Structure 1
C-alpha cells in the first residue's frame, strides 16, 4: 500500500533576504520529480494575518513551510496556532 502523498504549502515572503534567490523557481525545480503535492502562496504587500489563515485553510495542506526570515516564520506560526498542522 502506497503511503499518502503529503500536500505542502509554502508561504513565501518575496521581500525577505538578499533577493538573490528566486524561491518560487527553486521550490518548483526541487519538486519537479517528486510525488509530493505542493502549492506556493506568495505574501502580498500589506498582507493581513487573516489573508494568510484563509490561504492555509483553502490549501488543505498537511504541512506549511515558511520561506523567509524570522518575521515570516513568526507570522506563519501565529496563523497555525491551535491547529494540528505542523510548520517547517
Structure 2
C-alpha cells in the first residue's frame, strides 16, 4: 500500500485542527540512529472558558516517508529456506 504524501503540518492539522502558531510548539525532535528514524513531539495548548488544556502527540517517520502517530515496526530477523535449497 502506498502512503499518501502528507506533510507533517497537514497531519498535525488533521489530528489537532486549525491551531494558531502561538499555541503550537514542537517540543522535541528525536533521531534514532539504529533505524535512521525520526520522532517529533508536538504540543498544543487550548483554552476553553477558564481551563487550559494541553495536548501532546508524537509523530513518527516511516520508511516510506509518511508520518504517522504510531511507531514503525521493527525489522526482525527472519529464517528462509531459499539459501539452503541450492
Question: Shorter-normalised TM-score: what interval?
Answer: under 0.3
Under a length normalisation based on structure 2, what TM-score does the superposition of the two structures give?
Answer: 0.25
Larger Rg: 2
Structure number with the higher helix fraction is 1
Structure of higher RCO (CA pairs closer than 8 Å, 6+ residues apart)? 1
Q: TM-score w.r.t. structure 1 length? A: 0.25
Which structure: greater strand fraction? 2
